[in-house]
């Protein structure tokens, strides 16, 4: 029973396309994998090794790619938010969800939440807070600061599946959401389907994502889903709407399956 888990404190499973030698993120376990725009990527933050292993497994089982770090600082480091200089030199980093423990030494989950919401690159990324304590004032404070959800520990598979199913409806938007606008991006197609005709069935089927790489497929999907001109500037509007008001979310609640 004494097997060592491959990912130890602060270990970061690398999903960045950029060269990692730009910053040290404390113990990379593998070479950078090619960025897969179709998979949901979650950044999990928890100072407890046991909890990190569990949350990572929960997320992997629900088809997420996971990067697990042991502190708020490492999370900021990973996101490129840890220094003042513009991080324009980094390639796009795709993070679709940040899930963080509340009670952590150094930087609390609440403080991390604030820093993420203050950043122009990542403020649209949903942040979920986990806590072992069911304190209403704490929950309210986090929700007011823009947290997407608050999970009571110990986190269960049903909790993560629920989160995952909410993300699935946003997959189409999220894969374009937090990309930084680099010069070479100008010819890539971003797709924002405001129409609620796209619904994703949760849990069993893999999420439907639109890859902007293949121009052929994207143009036909664009025709299918878009009811407004494709325009990078429209990203902001679509993403800042709160999930509760999003037509896709409402639609999803009524009919959870793809026709």
Partner 1 sequence: MDALISQLQRQFRDHTISLYQQGFLDDQFTELKKLQDDGSPDFVAEVLSLFFEDCVKLISNMARALDQTTGAVDFSTVGASVHQLKGSSSSVGAKRVKALCVSFKDFCEAQNFEGCVRCLQQVDIEYKTLKSKLQDLFNLEKQIIQAGGIVPQVDIN
- Residues forming contacts to partner 1 in the complex (CB under 8 A) are 1-3, 5, 48-51, 53-54, 57-58, 61, 103, 132, 153-157
Main-chain phi, psi angles of 108, to 5 degrees: -75, 165
Q: Residue 8 CB, nearest distance to partner 1 (Å)? A: 10
Q: Residue 36 CB, nearest distance to partner 1 (Å)? A: 19
Q: Which is nearer to partner 1, 62 or 176 (CB)?
A: 62
Q: Residue 113 CB, nearest distance to partner 1 (Å)? A: 19
Main-chain phi, psi angles of 57, to 5 degrees: -65, -45
Q: Residue 43 CB, nearest distance to partner 1 (Å)? A: 19
Residues comprising the chain, all counted: 259
Contact between residue 156 and residue 210 where contact means Cβ atoms under 8 Å apart: no
Cα–Cα separations (whole angstroms), residue 165 to 59, 127, 173, 222: 12, 15, 14, 23
Q: Residue 156 CB, nearest distance to partner 1 (Å)? A: 5
Q: Which is nearer to partner 1, 101 or 171 (CB)?
A: 101
Q: Which is nearer to partner 1, 154 or 247 (CB)?
A: 154
CA–CA separation, 169 and 246 (whole Å): 10
Torsion of CA 9, 143, 141, 62, to 10 degrees: -20
Contact between residue 128 and residue 151 where contact means Cβ atoms under 8 Å apart: yes
Q: Residue 15 CB, nearest distance to partner 1 (Å)? A: 20
Q: Which is nearer to partner 1, 14 or 103 (CB)?
A: 103
> Regarding beta strands 127-131 and 64-69, do their DSSP bridges make them parallel or antiparallel, or are they unpaired?
unpaired
Q: Which is nearer to partner 1, 41 or 153 (CB)?
A: 153
Q: Which is nearer to partner 1, 51 or 171 (CB)?
A: 51
In which order are the strands placed within the sheet that holds 40-45? 64-69, 40-45, 97-101, 127-131, 149-152
CA–CA separation, 182 and 118 (whole Å): 20
């Amino acid at each position: 029973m004494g097997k060592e888990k491959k990912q130890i404190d602060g270990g970061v499973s690398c999903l960045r396309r950029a060269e990692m030698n730009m910053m040290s993120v404390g113990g990379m376990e593998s070479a950078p994998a090619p960025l897969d725009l179709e998979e949901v990527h979650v950044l999990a933050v928890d100072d407890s090794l046991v909890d990190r292993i569990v949350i990572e497994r929960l997320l992997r089982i629900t088809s997420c790619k996971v990067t697990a770090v042991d502190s708020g600082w490492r999370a900021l480091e990973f996101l490129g938010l840890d220094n003042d200089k513009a991080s324009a030199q980094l390639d796009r980093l795709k993070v679709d969800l940040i899930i963080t423990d509340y009670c952590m030494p150094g930087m609390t989950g609440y403080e991390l939440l604030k820093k993420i919401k203050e950043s122009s690159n990542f403020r649209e990324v949903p942040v979920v807070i986990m806590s072992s304590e069911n304190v209403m004032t704490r929950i309210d404070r986090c929700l007011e600061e823009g947290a997407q959800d608050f999970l009571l520990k110990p986190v269960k598979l049903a909790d993560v599946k629920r989160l995952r199913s909410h993300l699935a409806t946003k997959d189409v938007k999220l894969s374009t959401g937090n990309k930084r606008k680099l010069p070479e991006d100008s010819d890539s197609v971003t797709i924002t389907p405001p129409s609620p005709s796209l619904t994703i069935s949760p849990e069993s089927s893999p999420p439907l994502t639109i890859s902007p790489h293949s121009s052929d497929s994207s143009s036909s999907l664009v025709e299918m889903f878009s009811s407004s001109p494709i325009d990078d500037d429209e990203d902001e509007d679509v993403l800042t709407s709160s999930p509760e008001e999003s037509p896709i979310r409402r639609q999803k609640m009524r009919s959870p399956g793809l026709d």
